[in-house]
Structure 1
């Protein structure tokens, strides 16, 4: 059975499946920070991309940004220039019908020559630039692809796993008052001390503490998906979040996200986003942190500190210059 290759475009969070290694290499080298992974079946390759949270795209023989497609783009530009030239000729025909048309036609002809020459010159410079930089760009992509693969391996090795082979992480959120009686909600995700996948992020929805903790869980899942991991154990002090996921999600899906009293579920926008990520994972388990456990308290505090640092960063970069 012929192998299949999942090609991951990290920058655009998309991917595709190649049926042979030369095509996989061509697609990989078409986009910076991309890499390939080999599988026995197409289904396995597609599943891997989906577990990363990447959209799966399907192309013909040429990758979306390959040199051949760039050449096609240049041909499109040349066709546009020809269309402009044709438009000028039509304008000449119109001015020929006017009184005292000679001055108008001569001005248009001069402009026509100038515009077409400039446009052809620009396209020529672009083509020359692409040819000159092609070799350098390919070598740079290869070095960066190799670095990305090493970084992924290091990130995986430095994660903490429980007895069920689930990645363990801690999430928290903070709410901070800002100007004009507004508040700012930020989530923090902690895997291990100084781990490159620790992060903080401003909540994109309503600025509430509940949403900050929900969003923290969503971010944690996204982080492990980028590493090709599909099992995670999320530690949180939010009994609300754990109850929503473990006791109510199934019912709310069936009821159109309405409670028994027919009122809309609170925080449903963020809960729906989390739900859409949960279905892409093999397993997501939840642990309510024990505040009396020193190690648990330390790691939850680390997640909270990440969120607090996020508050500082958001306020710093949101100030008018």
Structure 2
């Protein structure tokens, strides 16, 4: 019985790869998708077109949000999110405190882009222990490549549906 409890507690942490992709980022016809990769043939792997404003940064933020929601749903207490997005990592670990102090304005005095997505992510971070791990994109990391493929597939689906 004790062995089962110990093994169960070990499953409370997950390492998940996340990515966002956007076709024609910054253009009027941009279409984005998110990828969440838990592992080979894992039913939790996600490839979802992004709703709302279509940008690569929003896709990255929402990939993290989806992964956190999934981790909570599956009773994980902590999660490591591996991402190639410097924007995502900096938004949640470096810039957030300064933005709060500045009334949610950037150093240039303008409002923070993607504020509602960042708010949602910050609130989700209060519900589970999350470690962001910045990895190099397109470096041959199988997990990152898989997350990128899922995100790209979702962006392609969204783009084709709009044509």
With the length of structure 1 as denominator, give the TM-score of the two structures.
0.43
| 2:99 counterpart residue number | 252
Instruction: Give the drift of 1:290.
Output: 3.8
Which consecutive residues of structure 1, in runs of 5 or more, have no partner in the other structure?
Answer: 1-156
Alignment correspondent of 2:158 = 314
CA 1:185–1:192: 2 relative to 1, 3 Å: same
How many positions carry a matched residue from both structures?
154
**Rg larger in structure:** 1
Return the alpha-carbon distance in structure 2 between the equivalents of residues 293 and 181 of structure 1: 30
Alignment partners' CA distance in 1, 2:51 and 2:155: 14
Supply the distance in 1 between the matched residues of 2:92 and 2:66 (Cα, whole angstroms): 15
Match of 1:182 among 19, 24, 29: 29
Query: Is the Cα contact below 8 Å between 1:189 and 1:216 reproduced in 2?
Result: yes
Which residue in 2 is equivalent to 1:232?
A: 79
Q: Which of residues 271, 281, 287 in structure 1 aligns to 2:133? A: 287
Q: How far is 1:301 from its partner?
A: 0.9
- Take 1:293 and 1:305, find their aligned partners in 2: how far apart are those partners? 14
Which residue matches 1:213?
Answer: 60
In the alignment, does 2:152 pair up with 1:305?
Answer: no
> Which structure has more helix as a fraction of its residues?
1
Paired with 1:211 and 1:201, the residues of 2 have a C-alpha distance of: 13
Q: What's the CA shift string for 1:42-80, capped at 9, x where partnerless?
A: xxxxxxxxxxxxxxxxxxxxxxxxxxxxxxxxxxxxxxx
Contact 2:15 2:80 (C-alpha < 8 Å) held by counterparts: yes
Residue 181 of structure 1 and its aligned partner are, at CA, apart by: 4.6
Contact in 2 for aligned 1:205/1:211 (Cα 8 Å):
no
> 1:184 and 1:292, CA in 2 relative to 1: closer, same or farther beyond 3 A?
closer
Separation in structure 2 between the aligned mates of residue 303 and residue 269 of structure 1, nearest angstrom: 24
Q: Give, in whole Å, the separation in 2 of the partners of 1:260 and 1:173.
A: 26
Structure with greater strand percent? 2
Aligned-partner Cα distance in 2 for 1:200–1:291: 18
Provide runs of 4+ in structure 1 moved above 4 Å: 291-294
Measure the CA separation in 1 of the matches of 2:54 and 2:137. 26
Cα RMSD (Å): 2.7
Higher relative contact order (CA 8 A, sep 6+): 2
